[in-house]
Amino acid sequence: MDYLYAPWRSEYVTSKKIEGCVFCHIVNHPDKDEELFVLYRDEFCFMVMNRYPYNPGHFMIIPNIHTDAIEKLDEEVWLRISSLTRKSVKMMKEGFGAKGVNIGMNLGQCAGAGIAEHVHMHIVPRWDRDTNFITTIANTRVYSTEFTEVYKKIKAMLPKFIGA
């Protein structure tokens, strides 16, 4: 039998679980932005690293208001999410070196949302050949870059691209 060791996952297994909506927890704890890997926040929404990323640099843009329906968001909130999405794509391409970017929302559990009760926009940087066989045959994701270093790099780029 082969083993793939991932010691960084021990925190997930042993850490205290957040009660209720994890995104509302982040909204209500701006004092824990570094601990929660928040990249940016304003009066309408925030940007946070995805703790279980598809690729290095995968983060989300999330409204501060708890809703599972984008059609219930105020127009101003939706426009801010859209604006940050456009700026984030530019940042991923020009600042992070991504060759492409996936953006999207999974609305509802049946659509694939892991946290269906609070809408969120995914920003996933992509590169040629960024997937490999192990994902297909072993249901295992290989993350090529240390998570906190990616967080620091993206956070440092925000003033130039987002204006934060």
Q: Is 58 left (phi over 0), alpha (psi -120 to 50) or beta?
A: beta
Contact call for residues 101 and 85 (beta carbons, < 8 A): no
Among residues 161, 37, 147, the alpha carbon closest in space to that of 93 is found at 161
Active site residue 120: yes
Write the CA distances from 125 to 67, 71, 136, 137, 147, integer angstroms.
26, 26, 20, 23, 14
Instruction: Choose, from 25, 58, 66, 120, the residue flagged as catalytic.
Output: 120
- Residues, the chain, total? 164
C-alpha 140/C-alpha 33 separation (Å) is 29
AA letter at 93: K
In degrees, rounded to 5, the angle at the alpha carbon of residue 35 between the alpha carbons of residues 154 and 30 is: 90
Q: Which residues are catalytic?
A: 120
